[in-house]
Amino acid sequence: MKVPKENLVGSENEAFLIFDSMMIPERLTSAAGVLGMARAALDVAVRYSSRRKAFGRPIREFQGVSFKVADAIMELDAARGLVYLAARAADEDGNARRLVSEAKRFATEVAWRVVNHSMQILGGIGYTNVFPVERLLRDIRLAMIWTGTSEVMNLIIQHEYYREVLKGKKDEREVELDATDYNEEEVVFE
């Protein structure tokens, strides 16, 4: 199919560069959005576990519940830090493809675990529409696929990292040479 030159978006044969630059804010939005959803699910579970009783005590007093909350909040904080780092890198130089892909993958997978923990804390009622956790679970599952699956993020992450390491900088030292017996002739590559 012929497209008239005046109808081209960008330069000919450079559509991938445009698409790739559009994915940076899309993936950051997905990463940040799921953290809000996961936090909402966790807040529902925390309030519920403070009121729901088993054996005469609020279930939050049982380690099986309280440790799930601790793990969830720790992972959410770590994911938020990575999302902030990726957003800062995107703002500063725009070359944040690896960090944004890491943030998108990590944040969506953390959110998935947190919502699953939240649903577990709620028990059977968490699976119903009495609480919004079941909907958040579906929405986060979509975000894991939207703008690139975890597998696609892995491809980008490893590709960009290989490029960073193998491009090398003149002032960067090769750690391999720190070995006391390193000998290029003894290293087998084939």
Torsion of CA 95, 99, 103, 106, to 10 degrees: 150
Quick one: tokens of 25?
Answer: 């804010």
Quick one: tokens of 19?
Answer: 């698409």
26 tagged catalytic: yes
Of the candidates 6, 12, 14, 26, the residue annotated as catalytic is 26
Q: Are 45 and 121 in contact (CB under 8 A)?
A: yes
Question: How far lies 86's CA from each of 53, 154, 159, 164, 166, in Å?
Answer: 41, 16, 17, 16, 22
CA dist., res. 119 & res. 41, Å (int): 8
Tell me which H or E stretch contains 53.
strand 53-54
Helix, strand, coil percentages in the chain from 3-state DSSP, rounded to 5: 75, 0, 25
Which residues carry out catalysis?
26
